[in-house]
Amino acid sequence: MRLLVTGMAGFIGSHLTERLLARGHQVTGLENFDLFYDRRTKEANLALLPAGLLVEGDILDTALLDRVLGASRFDAVVHLAALAGVTPSLAAPARYMQVNVEGTMRLAEAMHRHDVRRMIFASSSSVYGANTKVPFDEDDRIDDPVSPYAASKRAGELALKAWAHTTGMAVTALRYFTVYGPRQRPDMAIHKFTRAIERGEPVLLRGDGATSRDYTYVDDILDGTVAAIERETPGFRPYNLGGSRGTRLDDLVARIGAALGKVPRIEPVGEVRGDVPNTLAGLARSRAELGYDPKVEISEGLARFVRWYRSQAR
């Protein structure tokens, strides 16, 4: 298949591109190097990929989208590009809506103009918001987002669902549950905690540590994403991609300390608005329709992450 991957230079995008190339797909990337974090981090990711795959540009640039989509006959677009993170979205809600909703729909419109009929859209477990039913299932009612980021991802899903209905475009929405692993964004919890413990700095722990997340190793996420790309589904169809195993925040910190061989120093801080108490992926649909089967347990995944982290320090 010939695929366009937006957000190619990011954490998941760079891993996914490697996997797709290894499976014989042809890949073009789009990346705007947003200043959310250091450009050099993404350039290091790109250095691991063959040269010449990437077009630098923004999904809000309609003329650029037309040039890229008009240059080749793409079979599908894998849309990973987005502003990410719950906490940063609290300070820039309009910007999150512009990029994650308007940018997504500009891309969808350009796809329609160039007769690209399939999008695989990176959504988020954040769309489940204040849902108290666990595990979360794709058919749960999810109209109670608790952060601008969550609202932007849910709005993106709804806009694409309407677009699929009116145009016949196929949209697969992948609801990723807290992805971690080598190349993880430096602002994410596992990366921040590892950095603090390794340096002997205090770990700033929100609340009492009782919140839990379905931390999912990147290789498992890639398995599900590739399966969704290679399996064509008509209309709009969402899938959970998670590990279906909850880990408490305080247990996560202890496990990272064990992987590093160090004792964490904990410094409690207040909770942040926009966080939810628990996430857990229901995988019945993903298992049945995508053959999805997450394999990497949290202790093994953290050990792999720590080895990667220390390799970058040399």
Residues 92-111: pLDDT tens digits?
999 999 999 999 999 999 99
In a domain, 300, yes or no: no
Instruction: For residues 61 and 116, state if they share a domain.
Output: yes
Annotated catalytic residue, options 128, 149, 180, 309:
149
Q: Is the pLDDT score of 207 beyond 90?
A: no
Tens-place pLDDT, residues 272-300 = 777 888 999 999 999 999 999 999 999 99
CATH of the domain at 207: 3.90.25.10
Instruction: For residues 206 and 107, state if they share a domain.
Output: no
Contacts of 207 (CB under 8 A, 6+ apart): 249, 268, 270, 271
Instruction: For residues 154 and 200, state if they share a domain.
Output: no
37 is catalytic: no
Instruction: For residues 56 and 80, state if they share a domain.
Output: yes
CATH of the domain at 158: 3.40.50.720
* Total domains present in the chain: 2
Q: What percent of the chain shows pLDDT beyond 70? A: 99
- pTM for this one? 0.96
Instruction: For residues 77 and 176, state if they share a domain.
Output: yes
pLDDT at 154: 97
Tens-place pLDDT, residues 17-68 = 999 999 999 999 999 999 888 899 999 999 999 999 999 999 999 999 999 9
Instruction: For residues 200 and 137, state if they share a domain.
Output: no
pLDDT at 269: 85
Domain that holds residue 91: 2-180+217-242+280-295
Q: What are phi and psi of 248, to 5 degrees?
A: -65, 150
Instruction: For residues 169 and 254, state if they share a domain.
Output: no
pLDDT level of residue 217 (50, 70, 90 thresholds):
very high
What's the N-to-C CA distance of the chain in angstroms?
A: 38
pLDDT at 314: 62
